[in-house]
Amino acid sequence: MLSDVMEDYLKAIYVLQTESGPPVSTSAIAERVGKTPPTVTSMLETLEERGLVEREKYKGAELTEEGRTVALEVLRHHRLLEAYLAERLDYSWSEVHEEADALEHHISEEFERRVASALGDPAVDPHGDPIPGADLEPPADDDTRPLTEVAVGDRVVIARVSDRDDEELEYLDRAGITPGTTVEVVDIAPFGMVTVVGGPDREPHGSDADGDGGEREQSLPEAIAGAVRVRPVEEVNGAAATDAGVGGA
């Protein structure tokens, strides 16, 4: 049986690997799980003995297929929980992360099934992150890119928002930059400040927006814009695009 701690490392490696490809460095893992590098080295050894990662000393680590499956299971739990909390217990999308982190290691398979089915097998969580399927196959790459890489004049749909930082999330929530919203980039200033215009085209999360539904202009610092991924508006294909359970409740 794997400990919670191991599951956390595996999840961290998976996410890092997805963001920037393998191999993943010791220090990147350390940073993400909030431990020191020696601790990570030693855990990596354990994980390697168990066949969950492969690593090359001084280079970095990579999940084995088994390790990836475990990571996807944890991620599925995490994102299903986030979706459930937002949809059934009235959490706002910026609040769900921490609770899901605490619970993700402790739910049974039965619980997972019941939650998934209560929600109708949602494809994405409230931040727009894809929820791995019950088969635990890695999700296909999507066609999103960071908001910082969009050209001025483009109209795009907010696809997802990194759930790493609470303050960022609050900021974006107040700014109305939520998954599913369509915006147009009107300016990219020095230092990466991105200005967008647009607003929710369906109901927003959490407390309701003010009446001006849709044409606010927002300027986002680069640090925040970089945490937002977008996709082209014209996208309509079945799985990812419009429905997909994004708009909580």
For residue 107, the minimal CB distance to a copy of itself (Å) is: 7
Q: How far apart are CA 131 and CA 133, in angstroms?
A: 6
Window 106-145: residues binding a copy of itself (CB under 8 A): 106-108, 110-111, 114-115, 118
What number of other Cβ atoms are within 10 A of residue 193's Cβ? 15
Residue 191 touching DNA (CB under 7 A): no
Instruction: List the one residue from 10, 13, 16, 43 that touches DNA (CB under 7 A).
Output: 43
Distances from the Cα of 22 to the Cα of 60, 63, 70, 86, 162, angstroms: 8, 8, 17, 32, 20
Instruction: List the one residue from 13, 16, 44, 124 that touches DNA (CB under 7 A).
Output: 44
Closest listed residue to residue 220, CA positions, set 144, 151, 148: 148
Residue 89 touching a copy of itself (CB under 8 A): yes
- The stretch among 32-40, 131-139, 171-179, 226-234 that binds DNA (CB under 7 A) is 32-40
Residue 242 binds what, of a copy of itself, DNA, none (CB under 5 to 8 Å, by partner type)? none
Q: How far apart are CA 110 and CA 140, in angstroms?
A: 26
Please give the torsion angle defined by the CA atoms of residues 118, 119, 125 and 129, in that order, rounded to the nearest 10 degrees: 100
- The stretch among 28-36, 108-116, 174-182, 220-228 that binds DNA (CB under 7 A) is 28-36
Window 107-126: residues binding DNA (CB under 7 A): none
Residue 242 touching DNA (CB under 7 A): no
Q: How far apart are CA 191 and CA 224, in angstroms?
A: 12
Residue 20 touching DNA (CB under 7 A): no
Instruction: Determine the Cα angle at 103 with ends 101 and 104, to 5°.
Output: 70
Cβ proximity to DNA: between 3 and 242 the closer is: 3
**Can you list the positions of beta strands (E) in the chain?**
53-56, 60-63, 145-146, 155-161, 182-188, 194-199, 217-220, 228-232
Torsion angles phi and psi, residue 153, rounded to 5: 100, -20
Closest listed residue to residue 206, CA positions, set 90, 67, 116: 90
Instruction: List the one residue from 39, 64, 92, 195 that touches DNA (CB under 7 A).
Output: 39
Residue 57 touching a copy of itself (CB under 8 A): no
Instruction: List the one residue from 2, 5, 15, 103 that touches a copy of itself (CB under 8 A).
Output: 103
Residue 50 binds what, of a copy of itself, DNA, none (CB under 5 to 8 Å, by partner type)? none
For residue 57, the minimal CB distance to DNA (Å) is: 4
Residue 90 binds what, of DNA, a copy of itself, none (CB under 5 to 8 Å, by partner type)? a copy of itself
Q: Which residues sit at the interface with DNA, rule CB under 7 A?
A: 3, 5-6, 25-27, 30, 35-46, 55, 57-60
